[in-house]
Amino acid sequence: MVKLISVGNKKGGVGKTTTAMQIAQVLGKQGKTLLLDADEELQCAVSWRTGDFDGWSFQARNYHQASENDTAGCEYIVLDTKGGETGGDLVKLAQESDLLVIPTKPDGLSADGLLATLHDLIESGIENYRVLIVANEGTRGEELREALIAQGVPVLNAIVRKSVAVGDAVAQRVPLEAHNRYSKGVALDYNAVTREVLSHVK
């Protein structure tokens, strides 16, 4: 049975597309994987996936244009949600997904946005979500993770480091492991993230 992993957050600029892309890249090496890009306006994931690099392991499609042929035979579908999701959107998304991954940066603004994102999920009794800390510098990520755990928020153990090389990989239309040693380090972090994600959906 196909597994649906969604990536969402009410706040924009918290690494949703990078997270969705890299989870799909790792999953695609294990089974047929499709990434659905639900941002009709920007289509950042579809744009990143274009180009002539032959090391991509998955296909990416516009969510609103994907057909049964696109999803046929898939073991995994990764959904990159649009920015500005409402709380109700995320609750419905979690209910329809095997796991909802909520990326956040360990800074004040992102943490405030995270609290708003989690409110509706918690109020609705949703449990199949995990917070992922990305773009970490120093010990901020570990501190945020421990604070969230203390409040009973489900958090992935893996933390993704910050690197400007991510933007360079996007500009070159290649996955992180194909750019340079700095982006490869981020790719390794996402390998650990994806292993944890799989442990929650299998």
Architecture of the 3-201 domain: 3-Layer(aba) Sandwich (3.40)
Contact residues for 136 (Cβ-Cβ < 8 A; gap 6+): 105, 106, 142, 159, 160, 161, 162
Q: From residue 76, how far is each of 58, 174, 178, 200 by CA, in Å? A: 10, 21, 22, 13
CA atoms within 13 A on the CB side of 75: 13
Mean pLDDT of 49-55: 88
User: For residue 83, what pLDDT is reported?
Assistant: 74
pLDDT at position 86 over 70: no
Q: Where are the domains of the chain?
A: 3-201
d(CA 194, CA 201) in angstroms, rounded, equals: 11
User: For residue 109, what pLDDT is reported?
Assistant: 65
Mean pLDDT of 166-185: 94
d(CA 6, CA 100) in angstroms, rounded, equals: 5
pLDDT at position 51 over 90: no
Contact 164, 185 (CB under 8 A): no
d(CA 2, CA 117) in angstroms, rounded, equals: 26
Structure confidence by residue, pLDDT tens digits, 122-133: 999 999 999 999
Global pTM exceeds 0.75: yes
User: For residue 97, what pLDDT is reported?
Assistant: 97
pLDDT at position 57 over 90: yes
